[in-house]
């Protein structure tokens, strides 16, 4: 039998799911029998180990272990291992290769088609990088879906949600998302989305690590963070302690760094004081997205918790205070995103005629929004370049908007339309998607009108048209966001990584 799967490629943990014979989404355990897989790699001499073993030996093998690579997606970051430079796409591909292998063993078939999830707040460059990682791993990426949207799909499919406005609070290992959507059965209509791709469970762990460092120095006079082994020991115990404090009023911590030992206790109130500013940052983001959606807290029917760190009691306290009701705990925060991705993967495969439709199969209808604004570089009244937004953030896609600009000087014979993605006013703080050049313009006065039209389609491709209104002369181009690595480099990586054994 042929299967397609959904993959939640997480910062700290990854998960995968498929649609079973009953038409329901089901988690696929890895080869070790675990329902989620640590997104951690250990480079050995001739192979790569992905998962719990790599995570467990991070203390002793720190220089050969790679973690939190998702935060580097869409950048030119490189890490050197075994005489080769690895990009974030390469590292992510090795994680995906492990998941693919384990899914094939569990389902007893070859897996090729997948849907991979990304944070809603990822820009297009990071989304392209994620898709490229799947291709390097030998997968056919049917689609990329936002993590909160995937969670809402599974939530609706398992509970038959009708006519509800849901806010998804997604506090994952390395990223934080808020998405507000209308859910009515198979219809998921995203209203607004926001978040912070530099805020997550790792930052909460960092707060605990700083506390552990202070307590260890008090007890031993030694700074445990002066060694890589010490840093890994504290990080491992921080995650363990965070989990303990999510269900218990206190936790006992025992640290052993280079033969020095310290033991102490941390209470839940102490923990909450340590992370209060981080939770406040998430609250501010929630309020911002509510404002962008022009909704009050009273208009939100349910708050859905997603991501492992959403289990922290302080999160539920904050949301209960903000919305006047407790958030839902009816889904597994670690698994719901992969399950939703499997629903979309199965739906896309049915549409393509690759898998049969069963009576209980959900065929979702998703309406999404732009996660970031799209604009061009223009000069303000002071002659300073700024980002002039044409398609605002949270616009429904597909969409089309136009704006008219003036030429800068008399007899200007060419216009460069520099296309940006981002919400900042300063172009330097945005992502340049490309430049469309209009040439051979007739002599004209400064301020002659140039109309720029952006059309953004559901596949994430931006169609740009510029028209010199004095004569009707026009130029058109399609901007398909390119990743940091070229298609040729991605093909080379795929060939090279095929020879690497992943366990």
Question: Which tens digits make up the pLDDT trace of 79-137?
Answer: 999 889 999 999 999 999 999 999 999 999 999 999 999 998 888 888 889 999 999 99
Quick one: pLDDT at residue 150?
A: 92
pLDDT at 58 over 80: no
Kindly state whether residues 29 and 167 are assigned to the same domain: yes
Contact 326, 316 (CB under 8 A): yes
Task: Give SS3 for 438.
Answer: strand
- H/E run at residue 476: strand 473-479
CA pair distance 420, 426, nearest whole angstrom = 10
Angle at 175 between CA 178 and CA 386, to 5 degrees: 75
Does the residue 486 lie in any domain?
no
Residue 47: enclosing H or E segment and its boundaries? Answer: strand 47-50
What are the helix (H) ranges across 137-180?
147-159
Give yes or no for a contact between 168 and 304, defined as CB atoms under 8 angstroms apart.
yes
More confident residue, 119 or 62: 119
pLDDT bin (cut points 50, 70, 90) of residue 459 is low
Residue ranges making up the domain that contains 419: 374-479
User: For 66-81, how does the pLDDT look when each residue is reduced to its tens digit (9 = 90+)?
Assistant: 999 999 998 899 999 9
In a domain, 499, yes or no: no
**For 32-41, 168-177, 233-242, 453-462, which range has the lowest pLDDT when averaged over its residues?**
453-462
Report the domain count for the chain: 3
Considering the candidates 123, 124, 147, 233, report the single residue annotated as catalytic.
147
Q: Indicate which residue of 90, 154, 170, 177 is catalytic.
A: 170
Q: 327 and 192, same structural domain?
A: yes
Contacts of 273 (CB under 8 A, 6+ apart): none
Same domain, 9 and 129: yes
Residue 458 has pLDDT above 80, yes or no: no
Q: Are both 133 and 45 inside the same structural domain?
A: yes
The answer to whether residues 45 and 159 belong to one domain is yes
Residue 416 is among the residues annotated as catalytic for this protein: no
pLDDT at residue 433 in the model? 85
Q: Specify the pLDDT at position 316.
A: 96
Distances (CA, A) of 194 to 22, 341, 407: 35, 20, 35
Average pLDDT of the chain?
Answer: 91
For residue 456, being part of any structural domain is answered with yes
pLDDT in tens, 364-411: 888 889 888 999 999 988 889 999 999 999 999 889 999 999 999 999
Question: Which CATH number do you get for residue 261?
Answer: 3.90.640.10
Q: 170 catalytic, yes or no?
A: yes
Instruction: Read off the pLDDT of each residue in 199-205 and give the average, rounded to a whole number.
Output: 94
Q: How confident is the model at residue 61 (pLDDT cuts 50, 70, 90)?
A: confident
Predicted local distance difference test score (pLDDT) of residue 112: 95
492 domain residue, yes or no: no
Average pLDDT over residues 57-64: 79
Q: Active-site residue 70, yes or no? A: yes
Q: Mean pLDDT, to the nearest integer, of 19-36?
A: 94
Dist. CA 217–CA 284, nearest whole Å: 34
Catalytic residue status for 8: yes
Q: What is the mean pLDDT of residues 263-267?
A: 96
Backbone phi and psi for residue 107, each to the nearest 5 degrees, phi listed first = -95, -5
Q: Is 98 found in the same domain as 18?
A: yes
Do 177 and 260 lie in a common domain? no
CA distances from 288 to 196, 293, 294 (A): 12, 9, 10
- CA-based nearest residue to 370, from 400, 350, 341: 400
Same domain, 294 and 389: no
The answer to whether residues 289 and 177 belong to one domain is yes
Q: Tell me what pLDDT residue 339 has.
A: 96
- pLDDT, residue 454, reads 93
Q: Are residues 206 and 95 in the same domain?
A: no
368, 388, 403: which is the final residue of a domain? 368
Q: Does residue 494 fall inside a structural domain?
A: no
The residue among 242, 273, 304 that closes a domain is 273
**Lowest mean pLDDT, pick from 129-133, 153-157, 286-290, 303-307:** 153-157
Together in a domain, 310 and 446? no
Give backbone dihedrals phi and psi of 55, rounded to 5 degrees, phi first: -65, -40
CATH code of 104's domain:
3.30.420.40
- pLDDT at res. 371: 85
Catalytic residue among 70, 98, 131, 202: 70
In a domain, 438, yes or no: yes
Could you tell me whether strands 140-146 and 113-118 are parallel, antiparallel, or unpaired per DSSP bridges? parallel
Which residue pairs, CB below 8 angstroms and at least 24 apart, start in 76-85? 76/484, 81/43, 82/43, 82/45, 84/496
Q: Look at residue 365 in the predicted model and tell me its pLDDT.
A: 87
Domain shared by 253 and 305, yes or no: no
């Amino acid at each position: 039998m042929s299967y397609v799967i959904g993959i939640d490629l997480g910062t700290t943990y990854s998960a995968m799911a498929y649609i079973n014979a009953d038409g329901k989404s089901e988690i696929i355990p890895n080869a070790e029998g675990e329902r989620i897989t640590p997104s951690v790699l250990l480079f050995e001499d001739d192979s790569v180990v992905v998962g719990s073993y790599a995570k467990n030996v991070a203390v002793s093998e720190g220089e050969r272990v790679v973690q939190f690579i998702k935060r580097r997606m869409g950048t030119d970051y490189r890490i050197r291992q075994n005489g080769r430079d690895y990009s974030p796409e390469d590292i992510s591909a090795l994680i995906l290769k492990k998941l693919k292998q384990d899914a094939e063993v569990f389902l007893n078939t070859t897996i090729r088609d997948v849907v991979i999830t990304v944070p809603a707040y990822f820009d297009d460059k990071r989304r392209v990088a994620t898709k490229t990682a799947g291709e390097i791993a030998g997968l056919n990426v049917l689609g990329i879906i936002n993590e909160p949207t995937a969670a809402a799909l599974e939530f609706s499919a398992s509970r038959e949600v009708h006519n509800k406005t849901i806010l998804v609070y997604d506090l994952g290992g390395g990223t934080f998302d808020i998405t507000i959507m209308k859910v009515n059965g198979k219809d998921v209509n995203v209203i607004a989305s926001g978040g912070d791709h530099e805020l997550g469970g790792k930052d909460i762990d960092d707060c605990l690590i700083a506390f552990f460092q202070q307590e260890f120095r008090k007890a031993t006079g030694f700074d445990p963070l002066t060694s890589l082994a010490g840093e890994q020991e504290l990080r491992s115990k921080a995650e363990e302690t965070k989990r303990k404090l999510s269900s218990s009023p206190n936790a006992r911590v025992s640290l052993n760094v280079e033969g020095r030992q310290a033991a102490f206790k941390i209470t839940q109130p102490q923990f909450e004081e340590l992370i209060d500013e981080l939770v406040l940052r998430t609250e501010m983001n929630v309020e911002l997205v509510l404002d962008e959606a022009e909704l009050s807290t009273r208009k939100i029917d349910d708050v859905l918790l997603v991501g492992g760190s959403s289990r922290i009691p302080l999160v539920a306290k904050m949301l209960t205070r903000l919305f006047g009701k407790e958030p839902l705990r009816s889904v597994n925060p670690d698994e719901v995103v992969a399950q939703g991705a499997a629903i979309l993967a199965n739906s896309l495969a049915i549409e393509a005629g690759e898998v049969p439709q069963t009576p209980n199969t959900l065929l979702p209808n998703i309406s999404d929004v732009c996660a970031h604004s799209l604009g061009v570089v223009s000069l303000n009244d002071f002659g300073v370049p700024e980002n002039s937004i044409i398609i605002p953030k949270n616009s429904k896609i597909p969409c089309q908007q136009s704006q008219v600009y003036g030429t800068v000087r008399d007899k200007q014979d060419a216009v460069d339309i520099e296309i940006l993605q981002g919400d900042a006013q300063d172009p330097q703080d945005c992502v340049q998607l490309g430049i469309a050049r209009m040439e051979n313009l007739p002599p004209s006065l400064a301020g002659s009108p140039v109309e720029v039209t952006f059309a953004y389609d559901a596949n994430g491709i931006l169609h740009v048209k510029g028209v010199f209104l004095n004569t009707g002369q026009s130029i058109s181009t399609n901007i398909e966001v390119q990743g940091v690595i070229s298609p040729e480099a991605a093909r080379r990586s795929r060939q090279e990584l095929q020879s690497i054994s992943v366990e």
